[in-house]
Structures are given as structure tokens and as C-alpha cells.
């Protein structure tokens, strides 16, 4: 028997997506603070302390500990619950704060656990636990883009993640490896081995524009990648604001040092 509520949903939009969730009477969905787009008048909104699973019951210390784990991952101390108090189906919708895709996951399809980047979680059916997953290797922690800590989603129901740009799912066979920019990882199953590979060439690391390290993901399992990490988008906007819109040498240390024009770039 499922512990999580069995909600219905529909993802709307193309590149600026949001998700509509239909709740039966008494059903509840949990979301990050500020993620709600709209809701029917019969939906009751409450602020809750804890990881959302309900396993800690009325134990305040347990709820505070669960909430503290969320704070470590960079999320807020509280979550918001949305419960249908009407006699029929009612709708609530959630949207992310930047352009991208909403990805639905039924955790029962992935062994009940999914590891994701710490700002990817959007909302989930009540009963899903939102915890932390520590990266054991110091190289992954220092250069892995997400630090030592990622989010661990556990349960037997629906959860929804958000990521930037276009989403690519890759199914890796046992021993199969893929390399990627550390910021492009959205989520992975718990069977994926995550490590870091440093650039063998100092020249490539400094001038190649791809950074010092790449993420190394080894199967078996599934991984989800995003084409436009929010950090990359924010860096471009910040760079453009500093230069007043003038083009600099992008993708290399030359642009960061302001040497693009010295070599004739405009």
C-alpha cells in the first residue's frame, strides 16, 4: 500500500513550464515556499515543519531535525502544504522561478529513491521525504558543482523537479561512463557512481572555458541533464551588466581578465 497520496497532474507550457495538480478530497501536495502559481478557493494552505513525509508524527524535535536537514541543502526551514477541503476535485498549480522544464517522477519506478541537485525540487505528493545525500569524496565536494550535499527524495509517490533549458535522460549500462559539466546534472538514481575528473592540461583548464573538473557518472542507472543551468544563465547576465552589453571573450580566461579587446575582439 502506498504511503504517499496518489495525485493527478498535467504539465503545461513548453519552455516556461508549470504543473497543475488535481487533488481528490482530503489529498495534500507539498511544495517549496513561493512555488505556488494559483489554486482553487477550496484548497487550504498551511506552513509545515519537517521533511514532508509525516513519519516524524507530532514529535517537534524530529520535525526540527528534518527541517534542519533541508536548510543544509539550501532550502527554506518550512514547507507549504496544499490540501483539498472540498467534496470534489480541486486544482493547485506550481511554477519555478526561472525558465525550464518540469520533470515528473514516480519514485516507485526508481527504487523509491532519487538523488537531485539541491535547488531542483519543486513539489511532491504528501508522504515523500525530502532529505540530504552527502558526497563522500572530497574531490566531488570541492569541485562537483553541488558541494558535499545533494537532495535525497524518498517515498512511493509523485515528485516534481525543475531544471533549466532542455532536459536529457541518459540510461547508463553497468560500467558505462559519461562526462558532463558539473552544473548540468539535475538528478540520478541511487545506483549511479558520481566522481570528478580533473583536466590533465593546465592550458585547457585555464583557457578552455570548461573549468578545472568534469563530473564522471558511471552506470548502471539513469541520469537527467539540463542544457541551461541557472548558474550559467546568471553568470552571463552578470557579465553583460558589467560590460554594458559589450561582447567579451566568452568561454575563456581572456574574457574574464578583460583581455578580449587587446587581441582585437569587439
**Whole-prediction pTM:** 0.76
Residue 263: partners with Cβ closer than 8 Å, 6 or more residues away:
249, 254
Residue 29 confidence (pLDDT): 95
Q: CB atoms < 10 A from the CB of 38, how many?
A: 12
Q: How far apart are CA 12 and CA 90, in angstroms?
A: 17
Cβ contact 31:94 at 8 Å? yes
Residues linked to residue 161 through DSSP beta bridges, in sequence order: 103, 121
pLDDT at 15: 79
Q: What is the model's pLDDT at position 144? A: 45
Report pLDDT for 118.
78
Structural domains of the chain ordered from first start: 8-232 (3.60.160.10)
- The reported pLDDT for the residue numbered 229 is 81
Q: What is the pLDDT along the chain (266 residues), one digit of tens a residue?
A: 567 788 999 999 987 899 999 999 999 999 988 899 999 999 999 988 766 665 555 555 555 555 555 555 555 667 899 999 999 999 999 998 888 899 999 999 999 999 998 788 999 999 898 888 765 554 444 444 444 478 889 999 999 999 998 899 999 999 999 998 878 899 999 999 988 776 665 555 554 445 567 788 999 999 999 988 877 666 667 677 766 555 554 455 445 555 455 445 44
Contact 131, 152 (CB under 8 A): yes
Provide the pLDDT for residue 1: 56
C-alpha cell at 91: 486544482
Q: Would you state the pLDDT for residue 68? A: 55
pLDDT of 135 reads 59
Tracing cell 558505462 back to the chain, one arrives at 176
Query: In this structure, are residues 82 and 48 in contact, taking their beta carbons and an 8 Å threshold?
Result: no
Alpha carbons within 13 A on the beta-carbon side of 190: 15
Strand 78-84, strand 28-31: pairing: antiparallel
Distance CA 78, CA 50 (A): 7
Amino acid at each position: 500500500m502506498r504511503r504517499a497520496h496518489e495525485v493527478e497532474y498535467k504539465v503545461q507550457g513548453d519552455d516556461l513550464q508549470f504543473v497543475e495538480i488535481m487533488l481528490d478530497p482530503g489529498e495534500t501536495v507539498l511544495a517549496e515556499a513561493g512555488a505556488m502559481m494559483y489554486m482553487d478557493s477550496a484548497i487550504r494552505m498551511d506552513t509545515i515543519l519537517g521533511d514532508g513525509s509525516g513519519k516524524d508524527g507530532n514529535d517537534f524535535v524530529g520535525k526540527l531535525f528534518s527541517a534542519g536537514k533541508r536548510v543544509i541543502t539550501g532550502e527554506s526551514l518550512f514547507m507549504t502544504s496544499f490540501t483539498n477541503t472540498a467534496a470534489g476535485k480541486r486544482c493547485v498549480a506550481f511554477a519555478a522561478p526561472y525558465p525550464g522544464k518540469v520533470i515528473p517522477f514516480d519514485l516507485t519506478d526508481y527504487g523509491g529513491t532519487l538523488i537531485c541537485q539541491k535547488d531542483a525540487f519543486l513539489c511532491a505528493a504528501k508522504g515523500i521525504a525530502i532529505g540530504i545525500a552527502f558526497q563522500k569524496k572530497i574531490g566531488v565536494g570541492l569541485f562537483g558543482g553541488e558541494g558535499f550535499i545533494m537532495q535525497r527524495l524518498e517515498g512511493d509517490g509523485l515528485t516534481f523537479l525543475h531544471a533549466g533549458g532542455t532536459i536529457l535522460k541518459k540510461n547508463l549500462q553497468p560500467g558505462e561512463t559519461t562526462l558532463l559539466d558539473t552544473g548540468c546534472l539535475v538528478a540520478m538514481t541511487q545506483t549511479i557512481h558520481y566522481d570528478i575528473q580533473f583536466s590533465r592540461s593546465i592550458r585547457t583548464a585555464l583557457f578552455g572555458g570548461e573549468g578545472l573538473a568534469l563530473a564522471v557518472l558511471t552506470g548502471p542507472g539513469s541520469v537527467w541533464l539540463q542544457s541551461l543551468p541557472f548558474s550559467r544563465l546568471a553568470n552571463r547576465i552578470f557579465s553583460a551588466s558589467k560590460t554594458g552589453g559589450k561582447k567579451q571573450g566568452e568561454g575563456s580566461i581572456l574574457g574574464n581578465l578583460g583581455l578580449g579587446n587587446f587581441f582585437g575582439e569587439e
